[in-house]
Structure 1
């Protein structure tokens, strides 16, 4: 009898320990899976993303959607631990920009309303099928990091396939530069010895992450190296250009872009944002912060970033950058140790947003910048994403 009782007690104790362990595990997982409050993301979802997962640029007559917008929104949904929205964004992107199969087709760049013409009624669909490599990189990155953080193999597999497609379709071996990211598969190699490149398309943290994930594939290390040169060697006056030319020949190298007259404006503003969000341990952080110091000096002296700059001379145009520009430079100023100046740009952005709602592009710049400054996410030294929901949510400012 005593032996039987002792056995029952042991079994009850073991069951209790198992239940307690399961409860603690559930509590732990529930804590890790909790979403951190992010009102700006909630507003963006409500005002800019359709119910079926399309990011709409309402400022355009065609009510367009660009692959870049879908890519950024996927990243924000992961930062917010918002898997239902992530799934809707991914499904819409695949079904409408990739003909239903992202595993075999890179997404089209732009989708929207087609005008009625030649007897055909107004319709909706792809307006330009040429993919955009920056969007493709961000989509691959968001999927790979979602696969790791949410432990979902499907995301990892799809992100890997898209990254491989980028290498095959959107890179080229440039003499004297090595394997380099092109802005898209078509239209950026107008002559046998010249290519057009875009510095804002190569966020260093993304390139470093891909190189870290696949060290056995030399293409990614080469892309990281050429991206660093693209960022560092094209800003002689401390301002990044929107576009730049690369010429082969006897003296290969970068030259000012003739189409845009070497202007730095709405593309280039992202370069300062990417630099400001780099991990302190990233080897590119210090040289990039130093290279772009004139942008910080101008912003601090005038209270706002410039809208347009002639990057050949450093001559600044007459107009100030909008609220999105102020948001974009804030992490860069913060990384330089200019915390007060960064806060002034955040306040300027909020003041301008209160006077007139931010458009799609300014909203995504603000989501990147303020999400980072508020501690909702960070990039690690190897480019990996660490959202706040994997640890403890930050105290809101």
Structure 2
């Protein structure tokens, strides 16, 4: 009997270790990419930091109930990226530079991610301070980034440089539907519902070439027509990969996921190209791995392939996509 109890204890300890290991994605992410003062380093881009990374990490910290890390991330973001002129955030920080903020523009997806993380944190940890900060950022986004154009309500990628008068440049991977929904629920402002409705309508028309896929950057003309933006390759690539991620997070049953599902179903899992040029049909000479593969698996509901354990080879962006796919899967 004593031997049986000992065996049961050992089994429970082993299961406990396995569960701890399986839930260690956030710890791994912090070890690899987060500095002691709360800055997320983009290891695939000379260790710069940007609002996207701060927002992603803040969302992860909330989900993993790590308030200490959340506070460090938020503190660093406010101290180094906050633009006091408009209430938004400078999009990029270059360490070891005489002028770390060389570009004072914002990136609206980063601002949304930060505001969304603050909203989630405020609800989870019952903090009015976080909720108030989120509300302020939401109002600043509406004021400086959201416009009516071509018959749609759209969120420009930044407050500067994307409104060309006769057309605007959009990044459909900035269509953060689940965040906009939560903002609408919080504020009851119709603008967030309008962004969702317009974003869905625009995505339905952003089906280019034989693949019927959107591209990383899109031009919306004043008459409401759409085309791949000319300053970027017409690729469904590293930006646009986040479109199905956010769609799934918003609604796993969304019919907007169908074009991505149809495209990826043409390839075996480990032979899926990392990107495709939708106009020429030329494909990346390498295949999906890491976070890209996690988004593909999520979109195809092959969720048994998704865990929050990160591979040693994954850089900041791949690791972010990997953990975000895990969060989207669990959050539904």
Q: TM-score, normalised by structure 1?
A: 0.72
Q: Deviations over 1:343-397 (max 9, x none)?
A: 45x49x98x935xx21110010011113444x3xx14xxxxxxxxxxxxxxxxxx
Cα distance in structure 2, aligned partners of 1:97 and 1:36: 34
SS of alignment partner, residue 106 of structure 1? coil
- Using a 3 Å threshold, how does the CA distance of structure 1 residues 211 and 303 change in structure 2: closer, same or farther? same
Given the alignment of the two structures, is residue 271 of structure 1 paired with residue 243 of structure 2, yes or no? Answer: yes
**Which of 303-312 and 179-188 deviates more?**
303-312
Q: Tell whether the 8 Å contact from 1:196 to 1:246 is kept in structure 2 after alignment.
A: yes
Q: Tell whether the 8 Å contact from 1:49 to 1:55 is kept in structure 2 after alignment.
A: yes
Cα distance in structure 1, aligned partners of 2:36 and 2:96: 21
Q: Aligned-pair distance for 1:147?
A: 0.9
Q: Tell whether the 8 Å contact from 1:277 to 1:372 is kept in structure 2 after alignment.
A: yes
Higher relative contact order (CA 8 A, sep 6+): 2
117, 133, 137: which one aligns with 1:142: 117
Residue of structure 2 in register with 1:106 after alignment: 88
Residue of structure 1 in register with 2:52 after alignment: 68
Given the alignment of the two structures, is residue 290 of structure 1 paired with residue 264 of structure 2, yes or no? Answer: no
Given the alignment of the two structures, is residue 243 of structure 1 paired with residue 217 of structure 2, yes or no? Answer: yes
Q: Aligned-pair distance for 1:263?
A: 1.2
Cα distance in structure 2, aligned partners of 1:98 and 1:209: 23
Given the alignment of the two structures, is residue 363 of structure 1 paired with residue 319 of structure 2, yes or no? Answer: yes
Residue of structure 1 in register with 2:141 after alignment: 166
Cα distance in structure 1, aligned partners of 2:225 and 2:21: 46
- Using a 3 Å threshold, how does the CA distance of structure 1 residues 188 and 235 change in structure 2: closer, same or farther? same
Q: Tell whether the 8 Å contact from 1:140 to 1:160 is kept in structure 2 after alignment.
A: yes
Given the alignment of the two structures, is residue 94 of structure 1 paired with residue 94 of structure 2, yes or no? Answer: no
Q: Aligned-pair distance for 1:302?
A: 5.6
Structure 2 gap ranges (5+): 1-19
202, 208, 221: which one aligns with 2:193: 221
Residue of structure 1 in register with 2:283 after alignment: 316
Residue of structure 1 in register with 2:6 after alignment: none
Cα distance in structure 1, aligned partners of 2:225 and 2:177: 20
Residue of structure 2 in register with 1:82 after alignment: 66
Structure 1 gap ranges (5+): 1-34, 116-122, 380-397
SS of alignment partner, residue 300 of structure 2? helix
Q: Aligned-pair distance for 1:38?
A: 2.5
Given the alignment of the two structures, is residue 201 of structure 1 paired with residue 157 of structure 2, yes or no? Answer: no
Q: Deviations over 1:223-258 (max 9, x none)?
A: 111111232221243323101000014xx2211221
Cα distance in structure 2, aligned partners of 1:333 and 1:203: 20
Q: Tell whether the 8 Å contact from 2:248 to 2:328 is kept in structure 1 after alignment.
A: no
The number of aligned residues is 311
Cα distance in structure 2, aligned partners of 1:165 and 1:234: 28
Cα distance in structure 1, aligned partners of 2:285 and 2:33: 31
Q: Which has the larger radius of gyration?
A: 1
Given the alignment of the two structures, is residue 212 of structure 1 paired with residue 188 of structure 2, yes or no? Answer: no
Residue of structure 2 in register with 1:40 after alignment: 25
SS of alignment partner, residue 231 of structure 1? helix
